[in-house]
Amino acid sequence: MKNSTVDDCKIIDIRRYTDSRGYLSVVENGIDIPFDIKRIYYLYMVPEVARGAHAHKELQQLLIATSGSVDVIMDDGQEKKTFHLDRPWKGLLIPSGLWRDLENFSGGAVLMCLASEGYDEKDYIRDYQEFLNYKKQ
């Protein structure tokens, strides 16, 4: 989605079930998110560095800080919007065609990503100027 904007990013409340034994959250294909999950990966033991710094041409994602917190800065080439993920039931839905930077990982943070496609380096734009050109095309 070349014409996607930061306003197309959405925080969703992930279903949760709780009783005296604690909490359980679930994300299921066809029910909770607008794409089918093909891949899951997660970032953890991240030191004081920034990660991300890329866009995807096709990939859609749901990011969840299953532990700790992290800032996700979304950028459509015109506007930036920061999302603070700090609860295991809070998910950030990211459409394709947007630049993201991941910053301020707290100690012990785990950032899980549910992705609509398998890993494909050709889907990445890792150069910011190239991203700006892509959005203008």
68 near ligand TYD, rule: CB under 6 A: no
Q: How far apart are CA 39 and CA 104, in angstroms?
A: 24
Which of 1, 36, 119, 133 is the binder for ligand TYD (CB under 6 A)? 119
Instruction: Confirm or reject binding of residue 57 to ligand TYD (CB under 6 A).
Output: no
- Whether 116 and 37 have beta carbons less than 8 Å apart is answered as yes
Minimal distance, residue 51 CB to ligand TYD, in Å:
3
Q: Is 84 labeled as catalytic in the residue annotation?
A: no
Q: Which of 8, 51, 53, 54 is catalytic?
A: 54
In the list 17, 41, 42, 44, the residue contacting ligand TYD (rule: CB under 6 A) is 41
Identify the bridge partners of residue 62 per DSSP, sorted by sequence position. Answer: 93, 114
- Rg of the chain in Å (alpha carbons): 15
